[in-house]
Amino acid sequence: MVLVTGGAGYIGSHTVCALTEAGFGCLVLDNLEKGHIEAVKGVPAIRGDLRSPSDIEQAFCSYGVTSVVHLAAYSEVGESVQFPDKYFENNVTGTRNLLDAMETHGVDKIVFSSSAAVYGEPKTATIDESHPTAPSSPYGESKLRAEREITSRDIKSVCLRYFNASGASPTHNIGEDHSPETHLVPRLLLSLLGRTTFQIYGSDYDTPDGTCVRDYVHVSDLARAHVDAVRFLENSPGNHVFNLGSGHGASVSEVVAAAAKVTHKSISPLVTGRRPGDPSRLVASNELAKKVLGWAPVHQDLETIVEHAWHWHRRFPDGYKGVII
């Protein structure tokens, strides 16, 4: 049984689907602050918080947990700048509580949802796992501290450093639904459905068109990587770090152009100032994940990623409020 913390969230729900389809039993532990129970239909779930050791204990005592996929975290760069203590308590202390429970119950395998935010402002065009870690936000620092908590324990681990998760499952009724929504692709698409406004945060970055460049990786590809990582840990001791990205970058303006092409709608966004903590460019080298995990993104085309997200948002413009359990 794989315990998936944060399993009712955006990446978590896609990961639960991928693990289930691969033949793994899953137990979801989620406080549903950001997650949606509708996203994990048919999967046993406990409503609980990693800041509460008793909630974690309930999960380990209720099922025969053999490994953990840990995705429960606050993940907004801007919010972390405003409320750093909130991020360290949830992301770092919560991870420590989870690790304590794993040790108590003899569970020695964990796959951790980390982030490219641990790298900070990049020093190279593409970032590999040897790049220095120098987070430029409390969010990134909280992820790096959580990684260090994990590697300080006598357990087997894989830390997956995500770049920009995007898109939605093309085969299941699950997608991205945050409140408030801060991620680029859903903000853009929801604005076309009249559900929110869309702004570009900064056009004066040191990039070809002045807008931030990011590596957009399909959420279903990220989900598959967790399956690969769980299998990898069955026979691989030690601590491992892998970047998960497409290997190429797209600017905010290029994402807007892709959305206009997919939706056949004219888009004229308002350009405002930068958000604090946003690096100008984050693009992955995913060669190590390809070589060691045997993982590679399937949905590499930006328009495909946007198209899958558009299908979800057009079908469920109010998110999981429109999904029938």
Cβ(62)–Cβ(27) under 8 Å? Answer: yes
Contact indicator for 162, 222 with CB cutoff of 8 Å: yes
Q: Is residue 123 packed enough to be buried (19+ CB in 10 Å), middle (13-18) or exposed (0-12)?
A: exposed
- Sorted by sequence, the CB contacts under 8 Å of residue 179 that are 6+ apart come out as 319
Q: How far apart are CA 261 and CA 195, in angstroms?
A: 20
End-to-end CA distance of the chain: 24
Q: How far apart are CA 26 and CA 156, in angstroms?
A: 19
State the catalytic residues: 139
- Residues 85/88/89/93 CA torsion (nearest 10 deg): -160
* Cβ atoms of residues 175 and 14 within 8 Å: no
Structure tokens at 54: 């008793």
What is the rounded CA–CA span in Å between residue 174 and residue 316? 9
State how far Cα 279 lies from the chain centre. 18
For 210, other C-beta atoms within 10 Å of its C-beta total 16
Q: What 3-state class would DSSP assign to 270?
A: strand
Structure token digits, residue 20: 């289930």
